[in-house]
């Protein structure tokens, strides 16, 4: 026995948007035994699998187009206008669990688009939230993942800058500063969720307290990758796992302190499983 001292970060786990979506799904599953969900309800395979056992049916846009007279959950990431149009045409009842922070961002982007502003969105190509944001501009906004990619575009003198809600605040303002330093006028809209961005500082403080850090996250989570890197930069002895089976006993020596933390899409029950497994090493 290695007798590890194991602690879970109380600030980790689902953000309020994910909690709202999952609670809504569970309530309906309890009532009717099944529910369609457009895309993974959360970017965590373990949580998705748990809900599928309760009757959640994950579908894509092709399947959505074939459904009639059914209920479909819209997850926290939000959807473009085309999804709502399809739902009307197919007599689908949309159970909208879009995160309020995302909905506010969609509305702001739509307002900018209606004003004919040239919109650039700092975000991940193909991400569900970003697709919903692009939909507010009829696909005309430019999405970029880093400054290098942005500078490959022919940029206008006046740039309206937005961000996916889960991106790094520091990176967003670095991009803004670099553009202004190159002479561009930047209308920067900081639309990053503070419940996410505040975790940067919280995680740095948490990661410094332990010999080793286990960061628990789904491999599809953009937020997870960002926060894992925060931990890794702060404490090089940080390990990424998506499930308990990925833990390796040889990562640890006897008596070490181990901190467990995770993304906004990581369920607390999964971090507790990781804690129990480490305690048994």
Which are the catalytic amino acids? 129
Q: From CA 84, how far away is CA 82, in angstroms rounded?
A: 5
In whole angstroms, how far apart are CA 217 and each of 79, 122, 235, 260?
23, 22, 17, 11
Largest CA distance in the chain: 65
Alpha helices in the chain (DSSP H): 16-32, 45-53, 61-66, 81-89, 100-114, 128-135, 147-151, 169-181, 194-207, 222-234, 268-279
Angle 192-193-195 from CA coordinates, rounded to 5°:
145
Burial call 11-50: b when 16+ CB within 10 Å, e when fewer: ebbbbebbebbbebbbebbeeeeebbbbbbbbbbebbbeb
Taking residue 178's Cβ as centre, other Cβ atoms within 10 Å add up to 14
DSSP state of 246: G
């Amino acid at each position: 026995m290695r007798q590890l001292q194991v602690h879970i970060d109380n600030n980790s786990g689902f953000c309020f948007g994910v909690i709202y979506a999952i609670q809504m799904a569970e309530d309906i599953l309890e009532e009717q035994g099944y529910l369609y969900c457009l895309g993974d309800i959360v970017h965590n395979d373990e949580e998705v699998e748990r809900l599928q056992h309760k009757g959640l049916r994950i579908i894509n846009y092709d399947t959505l187009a074939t459904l009639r007279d059914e209920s479909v959950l819209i997850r926290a990431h939000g959807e473009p206008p085309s999804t709502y149009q399809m739902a009307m045409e197919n007599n689908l009842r949309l159970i909208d669990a879009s995160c309020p922070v995302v909905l506010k961002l969609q509305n702001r982007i739509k307002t900018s688009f209606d004003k004919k502003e040239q919109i650039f969105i700092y975000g991940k190509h193909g991400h569900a939230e970003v697709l919903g944001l692009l939909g507010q501009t009829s696909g005309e906004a430019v999405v970029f993942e880093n400054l290098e990619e942005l500078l490959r575009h022919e940029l206008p003198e006046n740039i309206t800058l937005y961000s996916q809600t889960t991106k790094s605040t520091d990176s967003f303002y670095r991009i803004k500063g670099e553009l202004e330093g190159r002479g561009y006028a930047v209308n920067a809209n900081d639309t990053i969720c503070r419940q996410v961005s505040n975790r940067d500082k919280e995680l740095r403080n948490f990661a410094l307290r332990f010999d080793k850090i286990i960061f628990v996250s789904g491999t599809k989570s953009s937020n997870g990758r960002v926060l894992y890197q925060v931990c890794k930069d702060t404490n090089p002895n940080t390990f990424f796992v998506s499930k308990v089976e990925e833990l390796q006993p040889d990562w640890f020596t006897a008596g070490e302190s181990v901190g467990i933390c995770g993304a906004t899409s990581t369920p607390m029950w999964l971090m507790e499983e990781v804690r129990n497994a480490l305690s048994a090493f």
